[in-house]
Amino acid sequence: MLSTNNAHHIVSFEDILYCKSENSSTTFFLCNGERISTSISIGLLESRLVEHSFVRSHQSYIVNMKHILRIHRRKGIELELINDTFLPVSTRRKSVVMQFFNKIERIQRV
């Protein structure tokens, strides 16, 4: 459940594409195009979402790994999502993101 000033939104983990932190708020970008802004810190979100296939790819972004189409290696590393959004992967977080994909690859080979 995501709480805003006006409502409580019931959102499934699968419906979240990514979260973006700006100043003291975090915006959830959903598969249906909806955006929900909350006052939850991205650090707190990271600890809650990590067990649901989310990874922090950048200081400002947490991404649902189930909605990634490709990893691009052009201007650094970027993640291409199913809605044609490109999110950066910071140098610091590159190894964590790649470890996640390596786990998926090993599971799919079995």
pLDDT score, position 108: 47
User: Among 12, 29, 9, which Cα is nearest to 79's?
Assistant: 29
Residue 107 has pLDDT above 60, yes or no: no
CATH number attached to the domain at 2-109:
2.40.50.1020
Counting residues of the chain whose pLDDT is more than 70, the rounded percentage is 93
pLDDT score, position 103: 65
Q: Which two tokens stand for residue 66?
A: 């189930």
Residue 105 has pLDDT above 70, yes or no: no
pLDDT score, position 29: 97
Q: Where are the domains of the chain?
A: 2-109
Residue 48 has pLDDT above 60, yes or no: yes
In this predicted model, what pLDDT tens digit does every residue of 51-88 receive, in sequence order?
Answer: 888 999 999 999 999 999 888 887 788 999 999 999 99
Higher per-residue pLDDT: 33 or 104: 33
